[in-house]
Amino acid sequence: MTELKDIFSLNLRFSGNMNLTWTLLLLFFLEQTVFTPGLPFSRRHIDSPTSWVPGGHHRYCDVMMRRRWLIHRDKCKQINTFIHEDLATVAAFCNTPAVPCTSSRSLRSCHNSTHDVSVTDCFARAGTRPPYCHYHKKDSTRPIRVGCEEGEPVHLDG
């Protein structure tokens, strides 16, 4: 938050040069959001209630992947899952018995959901390239498995 205050103070100092201010603000947000591995779990995966997107439900993945900055600089993220449950519900899964993770090298154990959850899986269309990545979606209700650290979900497994 202090970085944001610093940027806005630059706005006051350079009020005569709006281009510099907008450039610095844009660089700040790009620095914060371009790389997906460091993004919080909720930003990558939680969408509750399910967001409305312009252009109809068939555009959900195209819009959400851009809105959440889940597109890499040089390639489209191949798969992402949005969970349509609130973060507290998903965090409660961290209290279920530990099971082996299947897709994380850094986490030793994961936790299964206690019930099926509504999800949307987004799959990159063949040949799609940034910055205009296009996706198709699959809605389903199924169990999920999460990796947790200190009682908070940090990884969606599988």
- Rounding to the nearest 10 degrees, give the CA dihedral for residues 156, 74, 71, 118: -40
Q: What stretch of H or E contains 99?
A: strand 98-100
Using omega within 30 degrees of 0 as the cis cutoff, is the peptide bond preceding 130 cis? no
Answer for the pair 111, 98: CB distance below 8 angstroms, yes or no.
yes
User: Does 84 participate in catalysis according to the annotation?
Assistant: no
For every residue of 115-157, DSSP letters joined together read: S-EEEEEEEEPTT--TTS--EEEEEEEE--EEEEETTEEEEEE
Catalytic residue among 58, 72, 136, 155: 155
Query: Has 155 been annotated as catalytic?
Result: yes
Instruction: Report the catalytic residues.
Output: 45, 155
